[in-house]
């Protein structure tokens, strides 16, 4: 299997809470509570390791509460190459309600000293040789500016390694300008880049293809219950997930990215890759946690995932680029 590095610059201890309908300003009872050493890149790493890849995790980790992370890395078979920084890694609360609504309460993260960022860049130089891909996921902590992220992507791309990016806001804008190999925005994030609403499937398709034309080979657009659009080198494929009961959407996007990378790195066809990734993401929302490829009914979910050519759905007579 492939050798992959995931970078999480702003990891978190994720406190996942399942509740009844949330009543603001009142006492609410949780139905379940779970605390995980997480962060988007770490979530991607867990799925990739579960699928058989050799995965190294790196980034910036608070030294004062690292125990849960160290234990998780050992349990999941991940190679720990994190730079430790002073202070505590943040705690993010994710509240899931029965109707599928998820409310995130995310902390900013510990401030990163300039020396720690330099140490990370030096460590990456020793890690990048022989890698098949790097996945950079999540927000930026205080002390790491969007231009730092862009420089990091440029540095990795200069070493001829594939770089996939999943972030948002100013970090996404700066990251896109550095031309990673692939990106995984949602519709809101892609609309922010495009500068106008993407309120139709065709508008989403055109924006994704425009990113392809700008030099980003793969655009994996996650659309929640509406599925996934994958624009790859000017060719598009869409997937509709099977209908499932939603418990929590936390980690669904990370599962989608990891499963897509799995297919790409395994040399699968686009159809097989997107079908697998969409089904595994759908599996993940049925429970708290990441997608389980060993779920007893995963084959049924896979067969119920529908693929289609989105270009065939464009209305005839429209003037498309």
Q: Any idea how long the chain is?
A: 321
- The C-alpha atoms of residue 260 and residue 274 are separated, in whole angstroms, by 6
- The C-alpha atoms of residue 172 and residue 182 are separated, in whole angstroms, by 12
- Pairing relationship of beta strands 162-166 and 182-183 according to DSSP bridges: parallel
Tens of pLDDT, residues 223-237? 999 999 999 999 999
3 φ/ψ angles, rounded to the nearest 5 degrees: -105, 125
Tens of pLDDT, residues 156-187? 999 999 999 999 999 999 999 999 999 999 99
Tens of pLDDT, residues 119-154? 999 999 999 999 999 999 999 999 999 999 999 999
Mean pLDDT check: name the lowest of 42-56, 230-244, 303-317: 303-317
- The C-alpha atoms of residue 72 and residue 37 are separated, in whole angstroms, by 7
Mean pLDDT check: name the lowest of 1-5, 199-203, 304-308, 315-319: 315-319
CB of 280 within 8 A of CB of 312? no
Place of tokens 């980034």: 59
Instruction: Find the DSSP H helices in 178-269.
Output: 187-194, 201-213, 252-265
Domains of the chain: residue spans and CATH: 1-181 (3.40.1190.20), 184-215+217-321 (3.40.1190.20)
- The C-alpha atoms of residue 117 and residue 262 are separated, in whole angstroms, by 29
Q: What angle do CA 78, 131, 77 make, to 5 degrees?
A: 10
| Number of Cα atoms under 13 Å in the Cβ half of residue 23 | 6
Confidence (pLDDT) at 311: 85
Chain mean pLDDT for the chain: 94
Q: Which residues are catalytic?
A: 254
| Closest to 58 in 3D by CA, of 92, 1, 11, 13 | 11
């Amino acid at each position: 299997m492939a050798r992959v590095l995931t970078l999480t610059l702003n990891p978190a201890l994720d406190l996942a809470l399942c509740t009844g309908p949330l009543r603001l300003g009142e006492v609410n009872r949780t139905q379940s509570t779970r605390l995980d050493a997480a962060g988007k890149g770490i979530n991607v790493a867990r799925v990739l390791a579960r699928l058989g890849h050799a995965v190294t995790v790196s980034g910036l980790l608070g030294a004062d509460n690292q125990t849960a992370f160290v234990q998780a890395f050992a349990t999941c078979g991940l190679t720990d190459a994190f730079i430790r920084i002073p202070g505590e890694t943040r705690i993010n609360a994710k509240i899931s309600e029965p109707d599928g609504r998820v409310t995130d309460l995310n902390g900013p993260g510990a401030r990163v000293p300039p020396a720690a960022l330099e140490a990370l860049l030096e460590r990456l130089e020793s890690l990048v040789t022989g890698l098949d891909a790097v996945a950079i996921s999540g927000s930026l902590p205080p002390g790491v500016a969007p231009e730092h992220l862009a420089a990091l992507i440029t540095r990795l791309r200069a070493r001829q390694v594939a770089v996939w990016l999943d972030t948002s806001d100013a970090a996404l804008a700066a990251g896109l300008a550095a031309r990673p190999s692939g990106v995984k925005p949602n519709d809101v994030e892609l609309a922010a880049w495009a500068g106008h609403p993407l309120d139709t499937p065709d508008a989403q398709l055109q924006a994704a293809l425009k990113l392809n034309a700008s030099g980003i080979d793969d655009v994996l657009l996650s659309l929640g219950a509406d599925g996934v659009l994958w624009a790859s080198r000017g060719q598009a494929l869409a997937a509709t997930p099977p209908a499932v009961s939603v418990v929590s959407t936390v980690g669904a996007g990370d599962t989608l990215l990891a499963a897509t990378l799995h297919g790409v790195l395994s040399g699968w066809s686009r159809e097989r890759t997107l079908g697998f990734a969409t089904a595994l993401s759908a599996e993940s929302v049925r429970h708290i946690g990441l997608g389980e490829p060993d779920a007893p009914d995963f084959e049924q979910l896979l067969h119920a995932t529908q693929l289609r050519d989105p270009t065939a759905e464009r209305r005839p007579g429209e003037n498309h680029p």
